[in-house]
Amino acid sequence: MPHRPSRSCTEFTVSDREAGPYGITAGPDGALWFTLVHQGRIGRLTTGGEVTSYALASADGGPSVITAGPDGALWFTEFRGGRIGRITTGGEVTSYALPTRDAGPFGITAGPDGALWFTEGGADRIGRITTDGEITEFPVPLPGSFPSGIAAGPDGRLWFTLNRVDAIGALAPSGEVEVHPLPTREDGVPAAPVGIACGTDGALWFVEIGAGRIGRMTPDGRVDEYALPDRAARPHAIAPDGLGAMWFTEWGANRVGRITPDGRIDEYDLPTPSSEPHGIAAGPDGAMWTALETGAVARFGRTE
């Protein structure tokens, strides 16, 4: 039986239902910053519920994943627009067009080298952008692999999911790519990994949206997989809570989940039906915050 302990949840309306809150991260200013994927805006939410949003140059660029940069600004991908964006905590936006046409940038993370690293799902590449806008691209040696999520690993490499070939990749600063295939598909169902994050245990944790599993990979490529109680839950994004556990969204089941390093899974229902949780991040208040594509951001208790 699924383990469903109670945990307080508060929802904050941040947009209309058509705007599509999607990615979310904690900013250096003590607020939560999120993308509005269908509206071409970046939003800011204080822990007290105050909402501000800023328009991008294009309303149809598809801002997707957002992360805090090493320069005190927020950096984000525009999947449809083929751009990397930067927004200061005061709302000033700068945009950088990618050199590759239809690159489809999606995941983004701060790297150990003071640059931002991102995936190019449409071009099978990993990109790097310095804080002054210089872009370099590195090819992934698997055509049609659709690089998706990306995270800085404990070993100095950038780790990323390869959604369409059921694998996890690792990119060294030199540009060398190592690919780790996931275990054989179960019952013909692809794993289709999406979100990935580094845990406090020094492993990379990822979600398998196709197979309804949470995966854990050590830097030497060893894999453990944990099946969700509902294999049709469609886990999408994952993030550490800073206390040893990983939290993830269940886009297809209207829940968020929590998994401990030893594989225990707890799940928490969202109060609004069909709210479509996507990005998730630890907030400055110790709670976990998730963007709901139907127009809200949800806060789940403190994580002690």
Task: Give 69-98 pLDDT, tens digit per residue.
Answer: 999 999 999 999 999 999 999 999 999 999
Domains and CATH numbers, the chain: 9-302 (2.130.10.10)
223: tokens are: 């894999």
Q: Is the pLDDT of residue 248 over 80?
A: yes
Give catalytic status of residue 180 as yes or no: no
User: Model confidence over 154-211: pLDDT tens digits?
Assistant: 999 999 999 999 999 999 988 999 999 999 777 778 999 999 999 999 999 999 999 9
Angle (CA) 17 91 131, round 5°: 115
Report the C-alpha gap between 205 and 86 in whole angstroms.
27
- Residue 125 gets which letter from DSSP? E
Considering the chain, what is the average pLDDT of its residues? 95
Please, are residues 38 and 18 in contact by the beta-carbon 8 Å criterion?
A: yes
Q: Which of 3, 38, 236, 278 is catalytic?
A: 278
Confidence of residue 53 (pLDDT cuts 50, 70, 90): very high
